[in-house]
């Protein structure tokens, strides 16, 4: 197990997978990856379709993530054939693994209910003000990131299900003290190293690219030089906020609503309960007799309750809204403060309940709720009017499919015509998942080009709606060599320079291992830098990862290795010494949890590997094969 931990501790794929499985989708809109597919499918996983637009979105998000992580080094990675292939493969793997996990969870019967989703959203700090859920912040943040509320909720549901899968796997792993201590020593380990670099630039300056080499590279890597499909659309947008500004609700109307819906303004009554849980009926009856004779309820809870959680709270269940009690509690029928129930059968034994306190329902006065009520009624009226307007505009759009003019007239709005755009340059008003799916993967374009039809009404929440038609379409096509020649020349030179750089680095590494390194380094005009100490916890880039993958040097010896920073340099590594960490008790406790999570992650990888081996996976997009 420890060997596997060492090899996976800094595995970038696992970090990517974790990022997606947990909450990376929250502000990037990836919640819709598995919920719809268009006619242009890029892959299929046991029947789940992944559209080209979904895959392209994943690719762009992975690029953005790497750009943020790598900083100035990203440009070299993105410009190399190897780097682009890596990003494409990681993007596809993420979506395939997500589909496999979803299917695995379904087979296990794991699900997430609406209340769980609501609680999860309310708990997200992104949507809180002063520690409490802020609905306006929630709406504004989703709007600002072009995320549909339904798709976001579905993404939360998927995330909760995936977490349950992960936790169920992690919960089965047992960690030996010896393994945890070894793991802690590894994670807190430091290594003293010296580094020497071979930069690609000198090699690049020496390289040339012949016409034959340029032509061969272009033909072998034609997928790198494809212009994406482009669209030109026209659309109309309906906005409920415009209608809201013209709506007026009188105080009399608000008072009439208040009187007719008084329950909405009534704070429900609550009851505070305590519970004593016994293992069987005999024990419960005995405890009930003791209580009848005057025994103290809390004392019996501390002495006899088999439910450790409630016992730690002196049996308290807290306040429960009247009418929302669990069936067992409702069955106890407690109505008076201090009343104690007879034993009630529950799932893990028998319970005796006590009613500790009662809060009566309270009706909020009209003056207290009037301002909020007026705003709510205006909003509801706007929604009703907006829905009616949508129906009217939708009817006009379907009655005359050749143009948006009648629909625009019905909605008192203007038709907007866009310029050409692709999936990376979508105009801001249309940059929403529902609309991009409609345009890039929907029914508005067929094999002959634009269908010439208006779309159905597309609603975005309660305040915005669109009708779209595609006016022009350019399919994706290979760019001719003369259009990309400069780019191809640079890529050929970079490829040749990288090969030459790696070849020299391999020779230098061999010389170092043979004890002839000093002379070889001098001939190459490079040298090792000063010794520096690196902590395992800071191993985040490819060089540090390579350092901590090296074996410990023998006593009085040094270890040598090399690693390639794609598109920029090769780093030679001299490992002088290794010092294992000595964890404190607090660190050891933390490392125990981390180690169990790591074991669970390894188990998850094995499950994913097995699922993938037994899955029917078809990849239709040649760029990702």
SS3 call for 208: coil
- The stretch 389-396 carries a mean pLDDT of 92
Separation between Cα atoms, residue 439 and residue 490, nearest integer Å: 35
Per DSSP, the chain holds a count of helices (H) and strands (E) of 24, 23
- What are the φ/ψ torsions at residue 112 (nearest 5 degrees)? -135, 125
134: domain range?
Answer: 2-175+586-624
Q: Are residue 41 and residue 130 in the same domain, yes or no?
A: yes
Length of the chain: 625
E-strand spans in 168-303? Answer: 190-199, 226-227, 230-239, 266-267, 270-278
pLDDT score, position 26: 29
Residues 517, 609: one domain?
Answer: no
Q: In this structure, what CATH number is given to the domain that contains residue 374?
A: 3.10.50
Domain-located, residue 398: yes
Q: How far apart are CA 420 and CA 426, in angstroms?
A: 9
The residue ranking higher by pLDDT, 70 or 34, is 70
Domain assignment present for 246:
yes
pLDDT confidence tier of residue 208, bands split at 50, 70 and 90: very high
What is the share, in percent, of the chain residues with pLDDT greater than 90?
Answer: 37
C-alpha 394/C-alpha 468 separation (Å) is: 11
State the CB neighbour count (10 A cutoff) for residue 468: 26
Residue 180 forms part of a structural domain: no
The answer, yes or no, to whether residue 541 has pLDDT greater than 60, is yes
pLDDT band at 283 (very low <50, low <70, confident <90, very high): very high
Q: Are residues 101 and 149 in the same domain?
A: yes
* Residue range 404-419: mean pLDDT, rounded: 95
Please give the helix or strand (H or E) that residue 19 lies within, else none.
helix 12-21
Final residue before a domain boundary, out of 340, 360, 380: 360
Dihedral over Cα of 454, 29, 621, 74: its sign: positive
- Count of alpha carbons within 13 Å of 277, Cβ hemisphere only? 18
Between the CA atoms of 426, 430, 432 and 438, what dihedral angle is there, to the nearest 10 degrees? -90
Single residue among 446, 475, 504 that ends a domain in this structure: 475
Contact 455, 469 (CB under 8 A): yes
Residue 594 and residue 195 in contact, taking contact as beta carbons nearer than 8 Å: no
- Flag whether 257 is in a domain: no
Say if residue 167 is in the same domain as residue 109. Answer: yes
pLDDT tens digit string along 515-532? 998 899 999 999 999 999
* Lookup: tokens for 178: 């010896």
Pick the closest to residue 188 from 530, 529, 533, 532 (CA basis): 533
pLDDT above 70: residue 29: no
Cβ atoms within 10 Å of 297's Cβ, excluding its own = 21
Average pLDDT over residues 427-440: 90
Q: How far apart are CA 306 and CA 314, in angstroms?
A: 12
Mean pLDDT computed over 476-499: 93
pLDDT at 192 over 60: yes
* Per-residue confidence band for 537, with pLDDT thresholds at 50, 70 and 90: low
The pLDDT confidence band at residue 424, using thresholds 50, 70 and 90, is confident
Alpha helices by DSSP H, 34-134: 52-70, 74-79, 81-108, 114-123
Q: Is residue 258 part of a domain?
A: no
442 with 460, same domain: the answer is yes
| Cα 85 to Cα 428: distance, rounded to the nearest angstrom | 29
Residues 134, 214, single domain; the answer is: no
- Nearest by Cα to 433 from 142, 103, 86: 142
Are 451 and 550 contained in the same domain?
no
Which tens digits make up the pLDDT trace of 548-595?
889 999 988 999 999 998 888 999 999 999 988 777 777 777 777 676
pTM for this entry: 0.47
Q: Residue 614 sits in a domain of what CATH number? A: 1.10.4030.10
How far apart CA 323 and CA 533 sit, in angstroms, is 64
Q: Are 536 and 438 in a shared domain? A: no
- Helices 149-170 and 585-613, interaxial angle, to 10°? 110
**Residue 383 C-alpha from the chain's centroid:** 32
Identify the pLDDT of residue 138: 81
Task: Give the residue from 456, 475, 494 where a domain finishes.
Answer: 475
Of residues 518 and 1, more confidently modeled: 518
* Least confident window among 60-74, 88-102, 523-537, 599-613: 60-74
- 65 with 78: CB under 8 angstroms? no
474 forms bridges with which residues in the sheet? 230
For residue 45, the Cα-to-chain-centroid distance in whole angstroms is 20
Cα distance from N-terminal residue to C-terminal residue, the chain: 32
Q: What is the mean pLDDT of residues 493-515?
A: 94
Kindly state whether residue 511 falls inside one of the protein's structural domains.
yes
Per-residue pLDDT band for 28 (boundaries 50, 70, 90) equals very low
* 217 pLDDT higher than 60: yes
Phi, psi (5° rounding) for residue 176?
A: -75, 145
Q: Is the pLDDT of residue 25 over 60?
A: no
- Shared domain for 520 and 384, answered yes or no, is no
In this predicted structure, which of 35-44, 82-91, 279-288, 605-614 has the lowest mean pLDDT?
35-44
Q: How far is CA 582 from the centre of its chain?
A: 35
Task: Please list, residue by residue across 128-140, b when 16 or more beta carbons sit within 10 angstroms of its beta carbon and e when fewer do.
Answer: eeeeeeeeeebee
Asked if residue 261 belongs to a domain, the reply is no
Distance from C-alpha of 617 to C-alpha of 588, rounded to nearest angstrom? 42
Query: Does residue 472 sit in helix, strand or coil?
Result: strand
Mean pLDDT calculated for residue range 461-488 = 91
| SS3 label, residue 231 | strand
Q: How many domains does the chain have?
A: 4
Domain contains 181: no
For the beta carbon of residue 193, count every other beta carbon within 10 angstroms.
24
Task: Give residue 307's pLDDT.
Answer: 84
- Looking at the fold, whether 240 and 303 belong to one and the same domain comes out as no
CATH code, domain with 291? 3.10.50.40
The pLDDT score that the predictor gives to residue 171 is 54
Which tokens is 214 given? 């340029």
pLDDT at position 196 is: 94
Cβ atoms of residues 66 and 94 within 8 Å: no
Q: Residue 142: count other Cβ atoms within 10 Å of its Cβ.
A: 20
Pair 168, 46 in one domain: yes
Examine the domain organization and report whether 303 and 418 are in the same domain. no
């Amino acid at each position: 197990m420890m060997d596997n931990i060492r090899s996976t501790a800094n595995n970038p794929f696992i970090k990517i997978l974790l990022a997606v499985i947990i909450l990376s989708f929250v502000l990037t809109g990836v919640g819709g990856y598995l919920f719809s597919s268009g006619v242009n499918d890029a892959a299929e996983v046991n029947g789940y379709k992944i559209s080209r637009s979904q895959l392209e979105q994943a690719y762009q998000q992975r690029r953005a993530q790497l750009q943020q992580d790598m900083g100035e080094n990203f440009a070299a990675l993105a410009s190399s054939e190897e780097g682009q292939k890596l990003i494409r493969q990681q993007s596809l793997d993420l979506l395939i693994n997500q589909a496999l996990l979803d299917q695995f969870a379904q087979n296990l019967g794991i699900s997430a209910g609406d209340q769980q989703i609501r609680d999860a959203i309310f708990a997200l700090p992104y949507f809180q003000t002063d520690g409490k859920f802020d609905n306006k912040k929630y709406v504004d943040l989703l709007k600002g990131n072009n995320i549909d509320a339904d798709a976001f909720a579905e993404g939360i549901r998927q995330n909760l299900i995936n977490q349950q899968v992960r936790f169920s796997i992690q919960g089965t792993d047992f960690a030996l003290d010896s393994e945890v201590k070894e793991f802690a020593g590894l994670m807190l380990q430091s290594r003293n190293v010296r580094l020497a670099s071979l930069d690609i630039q000198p090699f690049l300056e020496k390289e040339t690219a012949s016409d034959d080499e340029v032509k061969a590279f272009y033909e072998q890597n034609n997928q790198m030089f494809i212009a994406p499909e482009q669209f030109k659309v026209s659309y109309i947008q309906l906005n409920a906020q415009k209608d809201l500004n013209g709506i007026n609700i009188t105080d009399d109307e608000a008072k009439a609503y208040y009187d007719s819906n008084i329950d909405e303004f009534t704070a429900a009554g609550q009851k505070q309960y305590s519970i004593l849980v016994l293992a069987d009926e005999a024990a419960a009856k005995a405890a009930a007799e003791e209580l009848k004779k005057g025994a103290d309820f809390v004392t019996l809870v501390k002495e006899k309750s088999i439910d450790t959680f409630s016992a730690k709270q002196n049996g308290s269940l807290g306040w429960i809204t009247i009418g929302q009690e669990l069936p067992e509690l409702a069955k106890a029928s407690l109505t008076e403060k201090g009343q104690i129930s007879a034993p009630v059968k529950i799932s893990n034994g028998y319970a005796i309940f006590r009613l500790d306190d009662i809060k009566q329902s309270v009706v909020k006065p009209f003056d207290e709720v009037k301002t909020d009520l007026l705003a709510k009624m205006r909003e509801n009226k706007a929604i009703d009017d907006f829905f009616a307007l949508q129906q009217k505009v939708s009817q006009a759009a379907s009655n005359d499919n050749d143009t948006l003019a009648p629909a625009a007239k019905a909605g008192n709005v203007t038709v907007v015509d866009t310029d050409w755009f692709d999936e990376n340059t979508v105009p801001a008003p249309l940059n929403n998942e529902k609309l991009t799916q409609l345009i890039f993967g929907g029914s508005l374009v067929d094999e002959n080009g634009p269908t010439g039809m208006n779309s159905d009404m597309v609603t975005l929440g309660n305040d915005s709606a669109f009708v779209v038609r595609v006016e022009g379409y350019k399919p994706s096509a290979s760019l001719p060599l003369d259009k990309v020649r400069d780019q191809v020349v640079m890529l050929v030179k970079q490829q040749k320079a990288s090969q030459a750089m790696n070849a020299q680095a391999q020779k230098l590494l061999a010389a170092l291992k043979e004890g002839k390194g000093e002379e070889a380094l001098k001939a190459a005009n490079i040298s090792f830098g000063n010794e520096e100490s690196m902590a395992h916890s800071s191993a985040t880039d490819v060089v540090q990862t390579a350092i901590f993958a090296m074996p410990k040097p023998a006593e009085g010896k040094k270890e040598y290795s090399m690693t390639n920073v794609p598109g920029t340099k090769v780093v030679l590594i001299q490992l002088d010494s290794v010092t294992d960490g000595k964890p404190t008790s607090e660190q050891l406790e933390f490392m125990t949890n981390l180690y169990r999570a790591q074991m669970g992650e390894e188990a998850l990888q094995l499950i994913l590997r097995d699922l993938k081996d037994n899955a029917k996976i078809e990849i239709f997009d040649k760029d990702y094969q």
